[in-house]
Amino acid sequence: MKTRVAVLHQMHLERPYTTSKPLKIEEVILDDPGFNEVVVKIKAAGLCHSDLSVIDGNRPRPLPMALGHEAAGEVISLGPGVKKLKVGDHVVFTFLPSCGACSYCQTGRAALCEPGAEANGNGTLLGGHKRINKDGSYYFHHLGVSGFAEHAVASVDSLVKIDADIPFEIAALFGCAVMTGVGAVVNTAPLKFGDSILVVGLGGVGLSAIFGAKAAGASQIIAADLNPEKRKIALSIGAHHVIDSSQEGALEDLMKLTGGGVDVSVEFAGAISALDFAFQATKRGGITVTAALPHPDARLQLSPESISWTRKNP
């Protein structure tokens, strides 16, 4: 079938992107879905910083690639062998397909699925195929989703069925921002009832982490961002305190506020200074989690003593 997708042909274009326009909207041919694949009519898609990380070359991917990895839609046709979904089902895409059979999937760590990671690295669907072509030349898929499109072919293992009464524009956020932010707090850390938490970086992922912290019963939620508008939003959705970690004395203030650091700190800002702040703010025996994408050449410097030994009192 014919459809339209947003394609990236070249990374590292000059900013501003409003002038260089790295994404081109193109009419393409979507192949019929293969084994365990379906066609989804995209109803909503979110723009995430990870899309920008491909566009600016921070996380290079094979090109040309049809971008977008946070989307929701409706299943409109099925390939052979599909049992999990039917036509008319509403679905959210997950940017990490899980095969269900590898050692990670079988031990409850589907986010580390090895065939899923390999397919994502190769820019194919989970089965190893590409289904988008223009004049016979195939485009790569972005994390099994390629959601900046009118339609997408996807593996059933990249899709989660949702209730039909959930609005698509809200459902789409569960494909990346909510999954990443809430998952970091409740699965990766995991935050225990009554723990204190620091959330650094208040984009869609960080704000979702605040929801996760509330749901998990955090006793004290501190939110940090350089942008005062984002700090205001954090307060309005449940953060107890907000800080600007770039300000002189911010770490000392946090230490006083928490009585020596937080139980859990989660970082989504993408700057090494932010990750360093999150680590320094974590109390002895606490946990620091990062899901950000700093530049691959960036390095976090840690003293081994700071990992294993007591923190200096501020």
> Does 145 contact Zn ion by CB under 5 A?
no
**Interacting span for Zn ion (CB under 5 A) from 15-23, 60-68, 100-108, 182-190:** 100-108
Query: Letter for the amino acid at 182?
Result: V
> Does 102 contact Zn ion by CB under 5 A?
yes
Measured from the CB of residue 267, what is the shortest distance to Zn ion in angstroms? Answer: 15
Strand partners, 14: none
Q: What whole-number distance in Å separates Cα of residue 65 and Cα of residue 82?
A: 26
How many residues touch Zn ion under the rule CB under 5 A: the total is 7
Measured from the CB of residue 119, what is the shortest distance to Zn ion in angstroms? Answer: 10
Nearer to Zn ion, 77 or 188 (CB): 188
Query: Letter for the amino acid at 90?
Result: H
Nearer to Zn ion, 50 or 220 (CB): 50
> Does 207 contact Zn ion by CB under 5 A?
no
Measured from the CB of residue 143, what is the shortest distance to Zn ion in angstroms? Answer: 8
> Does 99 contact Zn ion by CB under 5 A?
yes
Q: Given candidates 44, 156, 159, 176, which one binds Zn ion under the rule CB under 5 A? A: 176
Nearer to Zn ion, 157 or 276 (CB): 157
Nearer to Zn ion, 99 or 182 (CB): 99
How is 55-124 classified by DSSP, letter by letter? Answer: HTTSS---SSEE----EEEEEEEE-TT--S--TT-EEEE-SS---S-SHHHHTT-GGG-HHHHHHHHHTS
Encode burial over 244-263: b for 16+ CB neighbours within 10 A, e otherwise.
ebeeeeebeebbebbeebbb
> Does 126 contact Zn ion by CB under 5 A?
no
> Does 234 contact Zn ion by CB under 5 A?
no
> Does 48 contact Zn ion by CB under 5 A?
yes
**Interacting span for Zn ion (CB under 5 A) from 86-94, 105-113, 226-234, 256-264:** 105-113
Nearer to Zn ion, 102 or 191 (CB): 102
Q: What whole-number distance in Å separates Cα of residue 135 and Cα of residue 208?
A: 41
Measured from the CB of residue 112, what is the shortest distance to Zn ion in angstroms? Answer: 8
Q: Which of 23, 22, 27 is nearest to 4 (CA)?
A: 27
Q: Which of 203, 209, 149, 154 is nearest to 178 (CA)?
A: 209
Residues 6 or more apart in contact with residue 258 via CB below 8 angstroms = 196, 220, 222, 281, 283
Measured from the CB of residue 228, what is the shortest distance to Zn ion in angstroms? Answer: 24
Q: What whole-number distance in Å separates Cα of residue 163 and Cα of residue 169?
A: 13
For residue 292 the two structure tokens come to 């950000």
Q: Given candidates 8, 42, 67, 105, which one binds Zn ion under the rule CB under 5 A? A: 105
Binding site for Zn ion (CB under 5 A): 48, 50, 99, 102, 105, 113, 176
